[in-house]
Homo-oligomer: A and B are copies of this chain.
Amino acid sequence: MLGGGLLAAPALSRAQTNETLRTIASLRTIHGDFSDKAIPDADIEQILGASVRAASASAMQSYSIVVVRDPEAQRTICGYRGSCLLVYFLDYTRSIATAKRLGHEFAPDDMEWFVTGSTNTMLAVQTAVIAAKSMGIDSLLTNGVHRGKMERLWEMLGLPQKYCFPLIALVLGYAAKEPAYKKGRLNGPGIVHRGTYRRLTDEEADAIVRQYDDKALHLGLNEEWDKNGHKHYLDWFHKAWIGRNARPGETQILQRLRLAGFVETAGS
């Protein structure tokens, strides 16, 4: 039987341990506290070489990666800067170009291509994160590419309008200082289901609310959620955090996905 009640991620002593598991256990996000130390080019190349080893549906590698060293460009692209930024794109334009050279038309123009291609991309991203960490290089993954006017990315980077979409920014660097604590993670009911899906009971939902409130578990985003009269972390989260950037109408993401050709019901 697997234990179903764990809420923090398990310690590494239970089954096996090894350097890779320790690397994964040591993953953490660095928010704007990267030192000025440069990552050697050879290390970036090593990370890129590791990244492409991720599995890829139909061996398509339906992504591309823009490597950005310029600090100001990094900040404009994603809102942060480190020693090096890797911007990961879902990208079919290479496959379209090679198809065209052979006289084939290839138009990956539906949501299935988007979901499959973005899956391939994200597998490559996390492989880069883990490879970097094993080399002592910390990271920040941010969807800052989706904030502000997304059009800036097309202008700055010269992206194709179609069949190319920025998914995530991976900022790499060395931590200027060690974070004060390690983040916790939920790992029990509602995260892991055994055999079939099981909805949370009210008691389990209440237990999760309490766990987010327990500052020793470091599950949330913000350790000072109780500063403005919020009774629970999740009160702060729902009242003050999510929805803070919401705009009425279609999201930019849907608009850009339609422009990029991935929404097959365009105009319907």
Contact = CB atoms under 8 A, between A and B. Distances in A.
Nearest to A139: B55
A76 interface: no
A45 B111 contact: no
Interface residues of A, number: 129
Contacts of A149: none
Nearest to A204: B97
The 5 closest A-B pairs by CB, nearest first: A122-B122, A20-B134, A94-B190, A15-B42, A126-B126
A115 B116 contact: no
A265 interface: yes
A259 interface: no
7 contacts: A2-B67, A49-B187, A65-B191, A111-B253, A115-B146, A119-B143, A123-B141
A228 interface: no
A199 interface: yes
Contact of A197 (B48, B157, B185, B250): B157
A180 interface: no
A265 to B, nearest CB: 6
Contacts of A156: 196
A167 interface: yes
Contact of A55 (B21, B27, B63, B101): B27
A76 B53 CA distance: 28
A35 interface: no
A110 B251 contact: yes
Interface in A188-227: 190-200, 202, 205-206, 208-209, 212, 219-221
Contacts of A36: none
Contacts of A15: 40, 42-43, 45-46, 135
